[in-house]
Amino acid sequence: MTGLSVTERTECTKILRQMTQSDLMSLSDTVTNKMIVVASSKEAMETVLSFTKSAEELLKRKKVYRDLIFKYLAKEGIAMPATSEKHALIKRTLELWSSKKLKESQGQPSDSRARQHTVFVDPGFDPQILGQQFCQWFYGLLNSHNPALGQEHQDWGPQHFWPDAKLRLHARTSEEQMEEFAGADLVSLRLLALTREELLIFSPNLETNGLRALASPHGLVLVAVAGTIHRDKSCLGIFEQIFGLIKSPVDNNWKIKFINLKIRGQDSLKDKEMSAPTLNYNSSDLQLLCS
């Protein structure tokens, strides 16, 4: 799986630390297609590093200004002409990082901090299977709290979320609404209200055209799923939902880091979309987030 090497991650961090908070936030939005909400420079930096496909891709981003790269090289003891264009600075930076990676591969770590980073995803791990199992569990759990179904309530609550979990809810029905929630308690309660108070029933499409999952090298698994939404015997519309999952080292359970939920009412849909909702996010879109 592609992604930043240990050396590239360490060196990119040096450049990102020079950026303003607003530029970091903007860069994070670009790298993740605005699917991950970050609340601080630290979160933005970590998100950018985790979801960047390659060092060259990051250096070419508009928010990574020429002056940032120029200053970075100067601090590394590499003098470049003051008139150097950005592409020349990028080329020299990548050459520098290649030499550092070579030293590292020969047992000469270029930076002591590099040893702190590890790859957490097992090479034999299949995120698609996890995605199917997770969706069966999640929607069964959430739907059980709909009074109309008359089911025994399952164990829903903030314990299934990371403390800093985030929810972005975008609904396009008779009017368009965008809601955002932060914190395990608020996220948990807002999702519960969808079934308990608004009486919605979520029916996910767990076939290959409705479910995709990918894993980043750093332990985050993205699960994207499409499906239909019902109330009693009526089909109200369709949904697309992306989950960010990270395994807890304490209890070895997968917990929810973030959720992006898009709901479209029947009025805004064509008949074929209602009968067989499929994902608008393709594998390339998710790879952009997970690489």
User: Hey, where are the domains in the chain?
Assistant: 6-116, 127-290
124 pLDDT tier (thresholds 50, 70, 90): low
DSSP summary character for residue 20: -
Residue type, 209: N
CATH number among 1.10.1040.10, 3.10.450.50, 3.40.47.10, 3.60.10.10, domain 127-290: 3.10.450.50
176 pLDDT tier (thresholds 50, 70, 90): confident
Q: Of 153, 164, 154, 170, nearest to 187 (Cα)?
A: 164
Out of 41-45, 204-208, 253-257, the most confident range is: 253-257
161-188: average pLDDT: 90
79 pLDDT tier (thresholds 50, 70, 90): confident
Distance from CA of residue 113 to its chain's centroid? Answer: 25
226-251: average pLDDT: 88
Residue 206's alpha-carbon distances to 144, 203, 215, 276, in angstroms, are 18, 9, 18, 11
Could you tell me which residue, 176 or 67, shows the higher pLDDT? 67
Among 85-94, 123-132, 135-144, the least confident range: 123-132
Is pLDDT above 70 for 290? Answer: no
Q: Of 82, 127, 258, 243, nearest to 182 (Cα)?
A: 258
Summarised one tens digit per residue, pLDDT across range 186-226 is: 999 999 999 999 999 999 998 888 898 888 777 788 999 99
Q: In terms of DSSP H, where are the helices of the chain? A: 6-16, 21-31, 41-50, 55-59, 66-75, 86-105, 127-143, 184-196, 271-275, 283-290
261 pLDDT tier (thresholds 50, 70, 90): very high
60-69: average pLDDT: 94
pLDDT (0 to 100) of residue 202 = 95
Q: In terms of DSSP H, where are the helices of 79-203? A: 86-105, 127-143, 184-196
pLDDT (0 to 100) of residue 107 = 55
